[in-house]
Amino acid sequence: MNGKWFTLSIGIALVLSPCALRGQTDCDKGAGPIRSDPPQGLTPQEIIQRFTAKESTFRIARKSHTFTQDVTVQTLRPGILPGDFRVDGEYRQVMEVSFDPKGKRLEHVSFAPQNTLRSISVSPEDLEDIRNRAAFFLGTEDLPLYTLLYAGQQHVDQLDTHVFDVAPKAMEHDKRYFQGRIWVESSDLVAVKTCGKTVPDIIRTHQKKRTEEDIHPRFVTYREQIDGQYWFPTYSRSDDVLSFSGGNTVHIRETIKYTDYRHSDSKPRTVRGEALSDQQPTR
């Protein structure tokens, strides 16, 4: 998210008081404690090999489906009562997504009301995150880029899972990566949940000493089984306070709903799905 904080004091900064800084995406909501005991029957490396191979398959399979993506980004300010927050700006977009025979993403916006965000703007990098990194797949082909460390076992929403911490091995210029955690279901060895953020954050200095800071929130994404075989993202959310230079902060809440997954050559049926566009929000 681009904060409208400039060294020449262009624009109006939204500053939240310390008592309001409660937004923090809870990666462990609905989960039990992490047990540090090692996995039984398989080594962590064997689990990584198996679930990343399935991730590669799911990534390809998703491109043979169409779906709907509903995105809402809100900025919040303190309400009258303690712990209460009010929406003071919103970006919303709903679109249908499909893919051509070569795997190119095709997008059709079906709903895009006036953007009322004022203290931040939605950057091209934010749109790319909504397209790809909220729905993050860690395939076999991505393993050379990342370090995975086994963190333990955890019960998550009635599922027993293996937990891995994920971080980029190195960050090349103008490339962006996922950093966070992945939860892998213990019996089928499929990723069912991710939580983390896109790194690095971006700071650009323009002419006339104008600074643009592109700070990204942490998000948690849940998956469900589609067509009885694929585990696709169905819901992502973020509730974070973005901290900009000079002590400026913005409380944001973001949700992405993926609905109506269906195979491209089939008739619509109610399962789950995703979407978003290159169209820049009206400022």
pLDDT at 147 over 50: yes
Task: Work out the mean pLDDT of the chain and round it to a whole number.
Answer: 85
Express the helix, strand and coil content of the chain in percent, nearest 5 each.
Answer: 15, 45, 40
pTM here?
0.84
pLDDT at 71 over 90: yes
Structure token pair of residue 34: 């992490």
Give dist(CA 75, CA 133) in Å, integer: 21
Question: What phi and psi values does residue 50 have, to the nearest 5 degrees?
Answer: -75, -45
Share of the chain above pLDDT 70, in %: 84
Between 174 and 68, the higher pLDDT residue: 68
Contacts of 232 (CB under 8 A, 6+ apart): 58, 62, 65, 135, 223, 224, 226, 258, 261, 272, 273, 274
Q: Which CA distances in Å does 112 have to 72, 170, 239, 261, 282?
A: 10, 37, 22, 21, 10
Closest CA to 70 of 258, 272, 248, 267: 258
The answer to whether the Cα torsion of 200, 197, 144, 277 is positive or negative is negative
The Cβ of residue 47 has, within 10 Å, a number of other Cβ atoms equal to 19
Give dist(CA 170, CA 152) in Å, integer: 24
pLDDT at 26 over 60: yes
Residue with tokens 């306070």: 241
Give dist(CA 219, CA 150) in Å, integer: 21
Least confident of 101-115, 125-139, 164-178: 125-139
Largest interatomic CA distance in the chain: 61
Structure token pair of residue 63: 């491109």
pLDDT band at 82 (very low <50, low <70, confident <90, very high): confident
Residue with tokens 């996922």: 178
Between 92 and 247, the higher pLDDT residue: 92
pLDDT band at 268 (very low <50, low <70, confident <90, very high): very low
What b/e sequence results for 198-213 when a residue is b if at least 16 CB atoms lie within 10 Å of its CB, and e otherwise?
beeebeeeeeeeebbb
